[in-house]
Structure 1
Amino acid sequence: MSHSKTLTKEAGTAKERIREQLRHLVSLVGVSGSEQEVVKYLKESLSPISDEVKVDHSGNIIAVKHGIAPGPKIMVSAHSDEIGFCVKNILPDGYIIFDKIGGVSDQLLQGRKVWITNKKIPGIIGIKAGHLQTSEESKQVKSAQDCYIDVGAFTKMQAEEMGIKIGDAIVFQSDFMEMHDKDLISTKSVDNRINCAILLELFNQVKASDFSGTLYGVVTVQEEVGLRGASMIGNVIEPDYAIVLDTIPAGDTPDINTEKNLPVYLGKGPACPISDGVRGEGFFTYIHPKVREMIEEQSENADVPVQYLTLNGDAYVTDAANFNLAGKGMPLGVVATPRRYSHSPVELVHLNDAEGVLKIVKGIVSDNGNKSLDFI
């Protein structure tokens, strides 16, 4: 694909290539179930740097790269989808009512700009004029069921003529904002487009002569609505072990007791949840002991600090929870990129953390087959 080739040629460092891939990836609309635009871009970008790329009927991507000698099958995965909304109905006066897809907070809704479909039809989630709000109304948080989107149409027919249909994907409109420190990026869908960018860079850097065995790069769909892509694809590859790449909330803001509840800091390196599970929902992941050793060794080799933590009982879960039950059991671990303000249009990520994820995972791939995967 000409765009990805241009990025590889023009960006001089891995961090800059990740930045430019992220810039493009977050500009795409890819709500769970409507990931086509993201999947198409990733397939076209992976094809020149892989030995084989497949996309299944649901949109899960499997990219394959063979090493120089026989060895274990290692899978590195990320997910392509983002949280958002879909068109529930078009009212006679042209306003749009909508449903949420994934974990979107009602606090984020009113007064926000949105894009509808991958054509980015502009819309506004309406808010009652402040001059007319009662003191009680000014303190209320409206649910999605009570909100509407204004697309500048005055009839249902006008909205339909714009190309809007029932079920169309909707995302927050958000620019790619570099902070004063240019390595800090704020935008939508950092979860999980940052790790899609890291996976692209991993395949861009790893040559067949660098490792033994087979590297599988997997990009799943519908993670945000129940890890569904991981369920679809978990038994297809049957890797010997896996590294799941995702984001993780950073706890270093004034509204969180960081050390007690969420000891993850932006700019202090990748995070590794040793154990996580959602209370009452059956999701649970515990890192395989040998995979933990791999992460620790490569962290030391690359001089990249890793933030280790547990998140049991909190609302944090990744594709790892479904992957580790696939086949006869899949040894795995999660290497996560911290980001503040999760599931919002202003997620904040530090590119140094992303580069750290890349270095650790590249080291694990390069060392593939040199460590036993025995549990004891």
Structure 2
Amino acid sequence: MMNRDDMLALLQELILCHAPPGDEAEIEAVIMREFEATGAEVWQDGATNIYAHLPGDGPKVMIAAHKDELGMIVTDVREDGRLGVQNIGGSMAWKYGEGPVDILAGNGEVVRAILSVGSTHTKTGPVAALKENKALTWDLVTLFTGMTPEELDAKGIYPGTRAVVARERKHIQHIGDYIASYALDDRMGLVSVIAGLREMAGRSHDADLYFVATTSEEIGLIGAQRAAHLLEPEIAIALDTSPVAHGTPLVLDERPVIWYGEAAYNNKADCDKLLHLARELGFGAQPVVYNGAASDAGGIKRAGLASRTMAFGYARDNSHGYEIAHRDSIVNVTRLLLRYLEQLG
């Protein structure tokens, strides 16, 4: 199995790839490279999900992690060249703050802009209200581009164009046993999918395995539902970062988080099995029932597209912002995935 240093190096490469929902080409190139290197049968569907198939005669299993990340979508181009934006995928302006962002222009360029709120030296207007009791919402920010509307149009920047946090803000910070960055969600899951595929490609197995990098999870679990519709798996597994959220018993540590409840209630027997296997492996796990989170597995279960579903992943703080996770969780989740697949035969 990949060691932790190799996993973290791959994680950094994936994080630096921009992939807001619907504009995921940068990260797709890395995923295709990694999937094809295993010798598996690899293809991409019309929705842009990417598949790697390791055939077997046993139960059909879909193992998924999503490749999209939170971002912004341009809503209007103003006379001074500033861009109005709104969230795509649940991003919040106050999680980003003022600073550099990258616009993915239609001509293929990555164009620099500054997420701007405005000067604080005033007692009137929306910025004054922000100093007192108003939340920072997307209608109060713009992207400063330093270009005219005509220049922006020539680059292919118009309503519908995507933007994300600037690449230099996406370098992993190492703080003791912890890592922190934007877009740990769900690059950590992709690392485990790739590491799991590599390992299972070199082993004998009975299960019919489909490793899938899904699209558009952040805007409604769309890609996973399409993939499950096409594959018709008996078992669907989602690997995803797991919010250490208010009202849950979760702790920010190296133990995998088992999602018993989320967008739907995942299969209890399989979640129990994961909990048991994690204890056998020596690191244990944290069970959780979420009331404000959803994974690809929950979306598949809710749509009736698999008989059995489960989700598990990496405890993370600061969800949908500058996220923090324990560095060993990426190893432990991968080990748990492999142990679960092994016991299928």
Structure 1 segment 77-116 matched on structure 2, within 5 A? 77-116=64-103
Q: Which amino acid aligns with 1:99?
A: Q
Deviation per CA, 1:213-248, whole angstroms, max 9, x where unpaired? 221101111111111112212121122212211111
Structure 1 segment 251-262 matched on structure 2, within 5 A? 251=245, 256=246, 261-262=247-248
Q: Which amino acid aligns with 2:239?
A: L
Q: Which moved more, 1:22-31 or 1:125-134?
A: 125-134
Whole-angstrom distance in 1 between the partners of 2:172 and 2:123 = 32
Deviation per CA, 1:318-359, whole angstroms, max 9, x where unpaired? 111221255664202111211111111x11122211111000
Whole-angstrom distance in 1 between the partners of 2:252 and 2:97 = 28
Identity of aligned residues (%): 23
Q: Say if 1:328 and 1:107 are closer, same or farther in 2 by CA, change over 3 A.
A: closer
Whole-angstrom distance in 2 between the partners of 1:265 and 1:200 = 26
1:316 maps to which of 288, 293, 313 = 293
The alpha carbon displacement at 1:161 in A equals: 4.5
Q: Which amino acid aligns with 1:353?
A: S
In structure 2, what is the equivalent of residue 172 of structure 1?
165
Q: Is 2:104 the partner of 1:128?
A: no
Q: Is 2:314 the partner of 1:337?
A: yes
The alpha carbon displacement at 1:163 in A equals: 4.8
Residue 122 of structure 1 aligns to a residue in which SS?
strand
Whole-angstrom distance in 1 between the partners of 2:324 and 2:197 = 25
Whole-angstrom distance in 2 between the partners of 1:192 and 1:249 = 12
Q: Say if 1:267 and 1:328 are closer, same or farther in 2 by CA, change over 3 A.
A: closer
Q: Which amino acid aligns with 2:210?
A: Y
The alpha carbon displacement at 1:308 in A equals: 0.6
Whole-angstrom distance in 1 between the partners of 2:115 and 2:269 = 48
The number of aligned residues is 336
Residue 324 of structure 1 aligns to a residue in which SS?
helix
Deviation per CA, 1:168-208, whole angstroms, max 9, x where unpaired? 21112223132331x42211111111101111111122234
Q: Return the TM-score normalized by structure 1.
A: 0.83
Whole-angstrom distance in 2 between the partners of 1:220 and 1:138 = 40
Whole-angstrom distance in 2 between the partners of 1:328 and 1:123 = 41
In structure 2, what is the equivalent of residue 17 of structure 1?
6
Q: Say if 1:39 and 1:177 are closer, same or farther in 2 by CA, change over 3 A.
A: closer
The alpha carbon displacement at 1:119 in A equals: 3.9
Q: Is 2:329 the partner of 1:353?
A: yes
In structure 1, what is the equivalent of residue 232 of structure 2?
238
Whole-angstrom distance in 1 between the partners of 2:103 and 2:142 = 13
Whole-angstrom distance in 2 between the partners of 1:156 and 1:268 = 48
Are the counterparts in 2 of residues 235 and 327 from structure 1 also a CA contact under 8 Å?
no
Whole-angstrom distance in 1 between the partners of 2:299 and 2:130 = 42
Whole-angstrom distance in 2 between the partners of 1:368 and 1:322 = 23
1:269 maps to which of 255, 258, 269 = 255
Whole-angstrom distance in 2 between the partners of 1:84 and 1:30 = 8
Q: Which amino acid aligns with 1:128?
A: G
Q: Which amino acid aligns with 2:54?
A: K
The alpha carbon displacement at 1:66 in A equals: 2.9
Q: Which runs of 5+ in 1 are unaligned?
A: 1-11, 277-283, 370-376
Q: Which amino acid aligns with 1:96?
A: L
Q: Which runs of 5+ in 2 are unaligned?
A: none
Residue 130 of structure 1 aligns to a residue in which SS?
coil
Structure 1 segment 1-376 matched on structure 2, within 5 A? 13-67=2-56, 70-117=57-104, 119-134=109-124, 136-139=129-132, 140-153=134-147, 155-173=148-166, 174-181=169-176, 183-251=177-245, 256=246, 261-276=247-262, 284-311=263-290, 314-325=291-302, 329-344=306-321, 346-369=322-345
Q: Say if 1:264 and 1:120 are closer, same or farther in 2 by CA, change over 3 A.
A: farther
Q: Return the TM-score normalized by structure 2.
A: 0.90
The alpha carbon displacement at 1:137 in A equals: 4.2
The alpha carbon displacement at 1:77 in A equals: 0.7
Whole-angstrom distance in 1 between the partners of 2:28 and 2:2 = 25
Deviation per CA, 1:56-92, whole angstroms, max 9, x where unpaired? 111011111135xx32222211111111111222222
Are the counterparts in 2 of residues 298 and 363 from structure 1 also a CA contact under 8 Å?
yes
Residue 131 of structure 2 aligns to a residue in which SS?
helix
The alpha carbon displacement at 1:288 in A equals: 1.6
Whole-angstrom distance in 1 between the partners of 2:304 and 2:288 = 27
Q: Which moved more, 1:287-296 or 1:217-226?
A: 287-296
Are the counterparts in 2 of residues 238 and 327 from structure 1 also a CA contact under 8 Å?
no
Q: Say if 1:99 and 1:180 are closer, same or farther in 2 by CA, change over 3 A.
A: closer
Are the counterparts in 1 of residues 65 and 190 from structure 2 also a CA contact under 8 Å?
yes
Are the counterparts in 2 of residues 82 and 224 from structure 1 also a CA contact under 8 Å?
yes
Whole-angstrom distance in 1 between the partners of 2:312 and 2:116 = 39
